[in-house]
Amino acid sequence: MGRVAQSFRFLWRALDGLRRVLHLVLLLLLFGVFALAFRHPLPMVPSKAALVVRLQGRLVEQFSGSPLNRSLGLMTGDHEPETLVRDVVDALREAAHDDRIRLVVLDTADLSGGGLTKLRAVADALQEFRKSGKKVYAYARYTTQEQYYLMAQADRAYIDPTGEITITGFAAYGLYFHDALERLGVTVEVFKVGTHKSFTEPFTRQSMSAEDREQTLGWMTPLWQSYVDGVQSARHLPAGAIDAYVHDTVALLKAVDGNAARLAEQRGLVNGLKSSLEFEREIAALVGEDSSTHSFNAVDQADYLAAVGPESALSRHPAGEVAVLVAAGDIVTGDGGPGQIGADTFAESLRKARFEDDVKAVVLRIDSGGGSMLASEVIRQEVAALKAAGKPVIASFSSVAASGGYYIAMEADQIWSEPTTITGSIGVFGMTATFERTLDKLGVSSDGVATSSLAGAMHPERALAPETREVLQLGVAHAYHDFVGRVAAARKKAPADIEAVAEGRVWIGAEAQKLGLVDRLGGVDAAIKAAAGLAKLPVGKYGVSWREKEMSWRERLMRELGADGQALARATGLLPATPAILTQVLGGAERELRTLGSLDDPRHVYAYCGCAPR
């Protein structure tokens, strides 16, 4: 009887395995049909064309999530579009020396932000393109502050006669939940070191603290000035022009009967007012008309990179290379999820670079406000081991490299920051919530026995015992002093010198350099050159490899079929249309919830800074 049962089990497993294989084959066949139905022809670059740089969603240093997650998310509308800064810069650099590309058309209509540092990187690439003698054209119907920063870099910028350019300045407003949590009976326990460590304030206060208000204005004011200077320089506007446009909006609009487009033209923000058809005709006169679309001859940035990328890559034969590892998102334990820096995954990438003979130096491109202290320490140890192995390490800061984001950088041979990077925030906190009062409102209580006062102390249905509070506070205090001490050792300074600029204070890159927290100001290209110099690699003889997590075959399949799947979803109506304002609100709320969900340190100790203008 046992053998019969065993035979049936074997037969069932075989049939189930066959079912799974057939299901997979059917799925692949369906994807193949969809890909054939919606596949685009191989990208071709016309002999005379405009390169269309279309920026969608947020500018990012690294895509959040695997190709599988992004493709499925785009098909269902659950994933915010993203544009890789590196792709935009690469396309513009290739186009500058490509005789087929006569000009660039900049489309920022779907850009939702990403930080001034990333906007500056794209702006610099546009200015570099213009040095080739070719022009940049931009058109918009309505332009946000972030979109206009790039639009201002164009030789010729136009808006629709019914359009508007909205520039308001920077702000950092947040929601505060103390009273709401009290009404719900939720007890939030906070343990921190650092007078300016403000991440926990929304849960313990009903308004911004004086310390946070002071430090936020401290980095936001120069950040705004950098925005103003960038726009005024690009548009050749006099000093004070943008501030006048912002502060005198009502009076200026009254003078033109509320015509925002005419006001933008009068104040020199654009070169003129044109409809989209008029703009297309102007570009068509320069590059010719596409007979199939009756618009101008154009090649999209993604198609252009697909066409010229392989050829460009094959032309390089480096004797050695600088590996660039991007650390973008919240720092978490384990492998991490979409948009996160998993300690184990990133440590493995660092370890792999350490033992690869071709890798002569490493650049860490960091865009992170930090996260788990334990996870940050795992990464720091691997950075130190890489450096000890004799391979130079340069840390390069993007928009944010604060708290844990700074922690993982401090062992580098050099730290390079963008002038507008938000950094510092050397401080530590712990936070947990208990719901005993909430349960009491419902007539529920918790009771039991334990072998010590610490046993079961972290159960959320019970209030923290005094001993547990003391243990957590001692742990946070130790982590803070360890943080300060490690920074002091790495920066070759006295702990008291670091303490003076710590306490959770946030700085922008230019100020951080003066304080000794960073070595040089410059972008990722400058950091790569510095790394090559430390490795004594001959100029022009080395390669640069941007390291990504290795993809599974499923992810590679979804990367190939992602665009076709999105086209299918749009064609069949599966991709929902969400109002822009709702997308903006929900997107911000989703990012906040994702951050809270990433607080996974087993010791409940975090080096995190939620510092960015909103």
DSSP output for 246-305: HHTHHHHHHHTTT-HHHHHHHTTSSSEE--HHHHHHHHHHHH-B-TTTSSB-EEEHHHHH
Choose the catalytic residue: 134, 192, 197, 274: 197
Nearest Cα residue to 534 out of 412, 353, 405: 412
C-beta of residue 383 within 8 angstroms of C-beta of residue 527: no
Say if residues 160 and 124 touch (Cβ distance below 8 Å).
Answer: no
Which neighbouring-strand residues pair with 415?
A: 395
The two structure tokens encoding residue 442: 């419902």
Q: Token pair of 341, please?
A: 């820096």
360 counts as catalytic: no
Q: What contacts 24+ positions apart, CB below 8 Å, involve 538-542? A: 538/319, 541/318, 541/319, 541/320, 542/318, 542/319, 542/320, 542/321, 542/322, 542/360
- Which DSSP letter does residue 334 get? T
Beta-bridge mates of residue 255: none
Q: Which residues of 584-613 are buried (b: 16+ CB within 10 A; e: fewer)?
A: eeebeeeeeebbeebbbbeebbbbbbbbbb
Burial class (CB in 10 A: 0-12, 13-18, 19+), 570: middle
Q: Is 7 a catalytic residue?
A: no
What is the greatest pairwise CA distance in the chain?
Answer: 95
d(CA 319, CA 391) in angstroms, rounded, equals 15
| Identified catalytic residue from 66, 372, 403, 417 | 403
User: Nearest 5 degrees, angle CA 262-CA 263-CA 265?
Assistant: 65
Active site residues per annotation: 197, 403
